[in-house]
Protein backbone atom coordinates (compact mmCIF):
# COMPACT_ATOMS: atom_id res chain seq x y z
CA UNK A 1 0.00 0.00 0.00
CA UNK A 2 1.07 3.52 -0.61
CA UNK A 3 2.86 4.93 2.44
CA UNK A 4 1.14 8.27 1.92
CA UNK A 5 -2.26 6.61 2.25
CA UNK A 6 -1.18 4.89 5.47
CA UNK A 7 -0.01 8.22 6.88
CA UNK A 8 -3.31 9.88 5.91
CA UNK A 9 -5.31 7.10 7.58
CA UNK A 10 -3.16 7.50 10.69
CA UNK A 11 -3.59 11.27 10.79
CA UNK A 12 -7.34 10.95 10.29
CA UNK A 13 -7.50 8.38 13.10
CA UNK A 14 -5.57 10.68 15.43
CA UNK A 15 -7.91 13.58 14.64
CA UNK A 16 -11.07 11.51 15.09
CA UNK A 17 -9.76 9.95 18.28
CA UNK A 18 -8.74 13.22 19.88
CA UNK A 19 -11.56 15.49 18.72
CA UNK A 20 -14.60 13.21 18.61
CA UNK A 21 -13.63 11.83 22.00
CA UNK A 22 -14.38 15.16 23.70
CA UNK A 23 -18.16 15.17 23.20
CA UNK A 24 -18.33 11.39 23.55
CA UNK A 25 -16.66 11.44 26.96
CA UNK A 26 -18.85 14.36 28.07
CA UNK A 27 -21.93 12.41 26.98
CA UNK A 28 -20.84 9.36 28.99
CA UNK A 29 -20.18 11.52 32.06
CA UNK A 30 -23.63 13.14 31.77
CA UNK A 31 -25.28 9.73 31.43
CA UNK A 32 -23.37 8.46 34.46
CA UNK A 33 -24.52 11.39 36.58
CA UNK A 34 -28.14 10.43 35.84
CA UNK A 35 -27.72 6.80 36.89
CA UNK A 36 -29.60 5.70 40.02
CA UNK A 37 -26.36 5.04 41.89
CA UNK A 38 -24.77 8.42 41.09
CA UNK A 39 -25.73 9.72 44.52
CA UNK A 40 -27.09 13.04 45.60
CA UNK A 41 -25.14 16.27 45.93
CA UNK A 42 -23.42 16.42 49.27
CA UNK A 43 -23.60 12.68 50.00
CA UNK A 44 -20.12 12.64 51.46
CA UNK A 45 -19.41 16.33 51.60
CA UNK A 46 -17.58 16.30 48.28
CA UNK A 47 -19.43 14.10 45.86
CA UNK A 48 -21.83 15.79 43.52
CA UNK A 49 -21.81 13.24 40.74
CA UNK A 50 -19.37 12.84 37.89
CA UNK A 51 -20.47 16.08 36.20
CA UNK A 52 -20.80 18.18 39.34
CA UNK A 53 -19.02 21.47 39.89
CA UNK A 54 -16.79 20.12 42.64
CA UNK A 55 -15.51 17.26 40.49
CA UNK A 56 -14.78 19.62 37.61
CA UNK A 57 -12.99 22.09 39.89
CA UNK A 58 -10.72 19.44 41.38
CA UNK A 59 -9.95 17.71 38.06
CA UNK A 60 -9.02 20.85 36.13
CA UNK A 61 -7.53 20.33 32.69
CA UNK A 62 -9.40 17.08 32.17
CA UNK A 63 -10.44 17.92 28.62
CA UNK A 64 -6.87 18.61 27.51
CA UNK A 65 -5.53 15.61 29.37
CA UNK A 66 -8.17 13.46 27.68
CA UNK A 67 -7.24 14.76 24.22
CA UNK A 68 -3.57 14.03 24.83
CA UNK A 69 -4.41 10.63 26.31
CA UNK A 70 -6.45 9.65 23.23
CA UNK A 71 -3.68 10.86 20.91
CA UNK A 72 -1.11 8.78 22.78
CA UNK A 73 -3.28 5.65 22.91
CA UNK A 74 -4.24 5.85 19.25
CA UNK A 75 -0.64 6.52 18.22
CA UNK A 76 0.59 3.53 20.25
CA UNK A 77 -1.87 1.27 18.47
CA UNK A 78 -1.10 2.72 15.03
CA UNK A 79 2.62 2.07 15.39
CA UNK A 80 2.07 -1.40 16.84
CA UNK A 81 3.15 -0.64 20.41
CA UNK A 82 0.15 -1.66 22.55
CA UNK A 83 2.38 -1.86 25.65
CA UNK A 84 2.50 1.93 25.46
CA UNK A 85 -1.06 1.98 26.75
CA UNK A 86 0.27 0.92 30.14
CA UNK A 87 2.55 3.96 30.20
CA UNK A 88 -0.30 6.30 29.28
CA UNK A 89 -2.54 4.90 32.00
CA UNK A 90 0.26 4.95 34.57
CA UNK A 91 1.19 8.55 33.83
CA UNK A 92 -2.42 9.66 34.03
CA UNK A 93 -3.06 7.80 37.27
CA UNK A 94 0.13 8.99 38.93
CA UNK A 95 -0.43 12.54 37.75
CA UNK A 96 -3.94 12.64 39.21
CA UNK A 97 -3.17 10.68 42.38
CA UNK A 98 -2.70 13.70 44.67
CA UNK A 99 -6.03 15.20 43.56
CA UNK A 100 -7.85 11.89 43.89
CA UNK A 101 -6.32 11.16 47.27
CA UNK A 102 -7.28 14.56 48.59
CA UNK A 103 -10.80 14.41 47.14
CA UNK A 104 -12.00 10.80 47.04
CA UNK A 105 -15.49 11.88 45.94
CA UNK A 106 -14.22 12.93 42.51
CA UNK A 107 -12.61 9.59 41.70
CA UNK A 108 -15.86 8.50 40.03
CA UNK A 109 -15.49 11.24 37.39
CA UNK A 110 -11.86 10.27 36.85
CA UNK A 111 -12.59 6.56 36.36
CA UNK A 112 -15.64 7.04 34.12
CA UNK A 113 -13.93 9.69 31.99
CA UNK A 114 -10.75 7.65 31.67
CA UNK A 115 -12.58 4.47 30.64
CA UNK A 116 -14.74 6.29 28.10
CA UNK A 117 -11.74 8.08 26.66
CA UNK A 118 -9.56 4.96 26.50
CA UNK A 119 -12.26 2.81 24.95
CA UNK A 120 -12.86 5.39 22.22
CA UNK A 121 -9.14 5.71 21.48
CA UNK A 122 -8.69 1.94 21.35
CA UNK A 123 -11.66 1.56 18.99
CA UNK A 124 -10.40 4.27 16.64
CA UNK A 125 -6.77 3.12 16.77
CA UNK A 126 -7.70 -0.52 16.25
CA UNK A 127 -10.03 0.31 13.38
CA UNK A 128 -7.39 2.46 11.68
CA UNK A 129 -4.74 -0.22 12.13
CA UNK A 130 -7.13 -2.79 10.65
CA UNK A 131 -7.92 -0.50 7.73
CA UNK A 132 -4.24 0.02 6.97
CA UNK A 133 -3.64 -3.74 7.13
CA UNK A 134 -6.62 -4.42 4.84
CA UNK A 135 -5.49 -1.82 2.31
CA UNK A 136 -1.96 -3.23 2.36
CA UNK A 137 -3.16 -6.74 1.55
Q: What is the DSSP letter of 38?
A: S
Per residue in 72-130, pLDDT (tens digit) is 999 999 999 999 999 999 998 888 887 788 776 688 888 899 999 999 999 999 999 99
CA distance 58 to 89: 19
How do the domains of the chain map onto residue ranges? Answer: 3-136
Evaluate if residue 6 carries a pLDDT over 80: yes
- Binned at pLDDT 50, 70 and 90, residue 71 comes out as very high
Amino acid sequence: MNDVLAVLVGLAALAVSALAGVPLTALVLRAASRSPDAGEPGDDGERDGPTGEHARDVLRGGTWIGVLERLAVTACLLVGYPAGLAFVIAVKGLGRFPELRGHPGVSERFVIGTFASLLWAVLVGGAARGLVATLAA
